[in-house]
């Protein structure tokens, strides 16, 4: 079960600018509806909608947002409740319009209380009535529908390259031009273009006229022969389509001595209106702090990893457009990597569907197509069983970034022993150069370990442990990252649900707290009414329901992972890993190990179970009072957000 948590109040505040010129609209009744402009010059530009003479306002009256304009009244992309924006019959709404390659139109309706027969949206909310339409606006056009939008980068298997993708309405010929100076983009790379169609979707809403909107054409190109660690400037487009603004990125280092990454799952997107799905208001805060951290990292090459449940479009295609518009400030300057989640893929006839897997219709009929066509990861492809349907791409792959070998896997396709994915994971881990990349970080969507009440009681986690955990242990994977559960949780070094205090065993982090705010409900179990509602077993060291992401930094001897809370941008948990290939731990830094941190509290979970000696008042008191108190303090702090170091 999931509970929608209310955090909307902070994000419903809209910036309203002074409007000098209004354009009158078509009237279908007494209400006067006006627009600040009928032409927008770029994606994200604002149109201000105002209304006058709205008599007898009710809480059910609403303004619908439509694109294209020929959409049926009940095929809006979103709406707002007029009561939240109206006073004395006058109201105002400022709308940042994403260029979806078609004009917009706005319609004002008189609403009515829902009845038992009222249709419900995907979140069981009543769909507003379209019986009485009061006004329709003029059409709002974009001056250029082939404007290159949704620009985002990704790494390739070649460290001297950077891939770039973007969208236009038509398959115009475009390219990327780039160089080391913003006023001298002397290199050019031609882009290819591809699209997908309504018939490629599996079921409603993705293949219906309600959920489908033309996705335009996605362009792909590579910037090649990049010098390591150098900042490059680039723009995409053509004379015909127009050129994007100039972006910049830092090229990857080859055999770099350090690694920086920002990682999370389940972020989704925010839109300033209600739609058929619940949207992720908290993604705004996550993006804000990601941008802050990237600014602080400056010229250090960094990657972003978003491990499944990407846009939460679930068959409503305009949410993909909104997602890429929202992430472009980061994704156009930092490679944005992904793995597939249930809300990108799951559909009734998916090829791998054992009876123990909880695969359903979570993809809203998308069956992985938008995910496959809008991203370009250097990964494996699952060929489509039906001709003329796009293959499922970006499933599992790996990259070296500095001193870390990152591995992305698919929990939505076959990972059982003997499968292509299982064999690939085994070979990839086996062949990792641990002298070059001493740390391995494996990432997938559904968690292997989680204390979520639902996740703990399904067979899926048991199968992940049975099939994949032996590979992680055998190849000394330092860290496993999972999403799907919308909270942060850290385990001890684990094997088969047992904390291991000697040797190298993976620590598991659940990091599905990027933005989706369906948090788990602590529900009692009918078969065990006296059991803890949301039990925390010994292997769960710390968990938090705050949104956020993790920030990873590593050098050859130490990898540090920090949990950043999106509510305040501060560090709330830290775990450190010493290199699992250090030949002589005695000659290495004696503090290297696996360690956790919160504020000034700290304790060690090294094999010798000794405290690290970092200056902290609570543990100083524990040492002074003696061994018994120390034992109590260790138990208390192991269940709190602490500073932990894991021995390599």
Q: Determine, yes or no, domain membership for 536.
A: no
Q: Determine, yes or no, domain membership for 530.
A: no
Range with the lowest mean pLDDT among 488-497, 552-561, 615-624? 615-624
Residues 198, 218: one domain?
A: yes
Q: How far apart are CA 515 and CA 646, in angstroms?
A: 28
Q: Which of 120, 142, 164 is the last residue of a domain?
A: 142
Q: Which of 94, 122, 142 is the last residue of a domain?
A: 142
Residues 50, 109: one domain?
A: yes
Contacts 24+ apart (CB under 8 A), 5-11: 5/517, 5/518, 5/519, 7/281, 7/282, 7/517, 8/281, 10/281, 11/270, 11/281, 11/284
Q: By the 8 A CB rule, do 385 and 351 touch?
A: yes
pLDDT at 46: 98
Closest-CA residue to 609 (of 583, 644, 576):
644
Residues 237, 347: one domain?
A: yes
Q: With H, G, I as helix, E, B as strand and everything else as coil, classify residue 438.
A: coil
pLDDT at 458: 81
Q: Determine, yes or no, domain membership for 531.
A: no
Kindly report, residue by residue over 604-618, the tens digit of the pLDDT.
Answer: 333 222 222 233 333
The first and second tokens of residue 341, run together, are 């989640």
Q: Determine, yes or no, domain membership for 351.
A: yes
Q: Which is more confidently placed, 152 or 124?
A: 152
Q: Which residues pair with 104 in a beta bridge?
A: 140
Q: What is the mean pLDDT of the chain?
A: 86
Residues 267, 373: one domain?
A: yes
Residues 124, 262: one domain?
A: no
Q: Determine, yes or no, domain membership for 535.
A: no
Residues 405, 348: one domain?
A: yes
Q: Determine, yes or no, domain membership for 380.
A: yes
Q: Which domain holds residue 26?
A: 2-142
Instruction: Judge whether residue 546 has pLDDT over 80.
Output: yes
pLDDT at 523: 59
Instruction: Judge whether residue 112 has pLDDT over 90.
Output: yes
Q: Determine, yes or no, domain membership for 508.
A: yes
pLDDT at 529: 72
At 383, phi and psi to the nearest 5? -60, 140
Strands 39-40 and 141-142: parallel
Residues 200, 328: one domain?
A: yes
Residues 253, 206: one domain?
A: yes
In which band, very low, low, confident or very high, does the pLDDT at 121 lie, cut at 50, 70 and 90?
Answer: confident
Residues 131, 189: one domain?
A: no
pLDDT at 600: 30
- Burial of 204 from C-beta contacts in 10 A (0-12 / 13-18 / 19+): middle
CATH code of 25's domain: 2.60.40.2840
Q: How far apart are CA 380 and CA 216, in angstroms?
A: 25
Residues 454, 305: one domain?
A: yes
Residues 560, 617: one domain?
A: no
At 12, phi and psi to the nearest 5? -90, 0
CATH code of 418's domain: 3.60.21.10
Q: Which residues pair with 398 in a beta bridge?
A: 407
Q: Which of 100, 119, 142 is the last residue of a domain?
A: 142
In which band, very low, low, confident or very high, does the pLDDT at 522 lie, cut at 50, 70 and 90?
Answer: low
Average pLDDT over residues 76-85: 96
In which band, very low, low, confident or very high, does the pLDDT at 184 lie, cut at 50, 70 and 90?
Answer: very high
Q: Which is more confidently placed, 609 or 389?
A: 389
Residues 80, 222: one domain?
A: no
The dihedral through the CA atoms of 583, 553, 448, 349 has a sign that is negative
Average pLDDT over residues 405-416: 97
Domain count of the fold of the chain = 3
Question: If you count DSSP H runs as helices and E runs as strands, how many of each does the chain have, helices first?
Answer: 9, 41
Q: Determine, yes or no, domain membership for 540.
A: no
């Amino acid at each position: 079960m999931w509970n929608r948590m209310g955090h909307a109040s902070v994000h419903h505040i809209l910036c309203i600018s002074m409007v000098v010129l209004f354009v009158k609209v078509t009237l279908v009744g007494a209400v006067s509806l006006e627009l600040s402009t009928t032409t927008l010059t770029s994606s994200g530009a604002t149109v201000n909608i105002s209304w006058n003479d709205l008599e007898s306002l009710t809480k059910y009256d609403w303004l619908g947002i439509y694109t294209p304009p020929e959409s049926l009244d009940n095929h809006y992309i979103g709406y707002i409740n007029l009561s939240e924006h109206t006073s004395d019959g006058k109201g105002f709404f400022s709308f940042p319009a994403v260029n979806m390659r078609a004009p917009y139109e706005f319609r004002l309706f008189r609403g009515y209380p829902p009845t038992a027969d009222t249709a419900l949206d995907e979140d069981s909310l009543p769909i507003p009535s379209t019986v009485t339409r009061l006004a329709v606006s003029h059409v709002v056009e974009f001056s250029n529908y082939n404007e290159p939008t949704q620009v985002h980068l990704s790494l390739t298997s070649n460290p001297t390259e950077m891939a770039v993708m973007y969208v236009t309405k038509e398959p115009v010929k475009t390219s990327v031009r780039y160089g080391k100076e913003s006023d001298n983009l002397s290199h050019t790379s031609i882009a290819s273009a591809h699209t997908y169609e309504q018939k490629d979707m599996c079921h409603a809403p993705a293949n219906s006229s309600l959920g489908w909107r033309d996705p335009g054409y996605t362009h792909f190109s590579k910037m090649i022969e990049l010098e390591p660690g150098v900042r490059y400037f680039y723009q995409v487009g053509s004379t015909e389509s127009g050129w994007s603004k100039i972006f910049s990125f830092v090229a990857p280092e080859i055999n770099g001595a350090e690694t920086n990454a920002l990682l999370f799952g389940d972020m989704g997107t925010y839109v300033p209106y209600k739609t058929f799905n619940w949207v992720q208001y908290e993604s705004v805060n996550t993006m804000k702090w990601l941008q802050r951290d990237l600014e602080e990292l400056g010229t250090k090459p960094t990657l972003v990893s978003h491990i499944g449940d990407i846009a939460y479009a679930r068959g409503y295609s305009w949410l993909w457009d909104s997602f890429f518009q929202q992430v472009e400030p980061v994704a156009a300057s930092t490679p944005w990597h992904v793995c597939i989640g249930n809300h990108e893929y799951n559909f009734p006839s998916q090829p791998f569907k054992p009876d123990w897997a909880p695969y359903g219709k979570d993809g809203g009929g998308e069956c992985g197509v938008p995910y496959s066509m809008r991203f370009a990861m250097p990964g494996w492809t699952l060929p489509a069983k039906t001709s003329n349907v796009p293959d499922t791409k970006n499933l599992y792959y790996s990259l070296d970034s500095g001193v870390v070998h990152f591995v992305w896997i698919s929990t939505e396709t076959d990972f059982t022993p003997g499968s292509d994915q299982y064999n690939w994971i085994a070979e990839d881990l086996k062949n990792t150069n641990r002298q070059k990349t001493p740390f391995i970080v494996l990432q997938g969507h559904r968690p292997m370990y989680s204390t979520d009440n639902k996740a703990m009681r399904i067979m899926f986690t048991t199968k992940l442990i049975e099939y994949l955990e032996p590979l992680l242990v055998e190849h000394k994977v330092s860290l496993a990252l999972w999403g799907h559960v919308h909270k942060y949780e850290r385990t001890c070094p684990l094997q088969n649900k047992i904390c291991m205090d000697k040797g190298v065993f993976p620590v598991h982090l659940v990091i599905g707290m990027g933005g989706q705010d369906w948090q788990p409900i602590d529900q009692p179990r009918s078969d065990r009414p006296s059991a803890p509602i949301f039990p925390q077993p010994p292997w769960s060291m710390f968990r938090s329901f705050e949104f956020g992401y993790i920030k990873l930094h590593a050098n050859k001897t130490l990898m540090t992972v920090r949990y950043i809370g999106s509510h305040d941008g501060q560090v709330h948990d830290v775990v450190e890993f010493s290199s699992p290939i250090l030949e002589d731990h005695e000659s290495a830094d004696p503090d290297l190990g696996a360690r956790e941190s919160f504020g000034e509290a700290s304790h060690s979970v090294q094999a010798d179970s000794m405290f690290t000696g970092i200056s902290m008042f609570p543990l100083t008191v524990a040492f002074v009072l003696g061994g018994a108190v120390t034992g109590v303090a260790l138990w208390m702090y192991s269940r709190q957000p602490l500073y932990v170091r894991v021995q390599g």
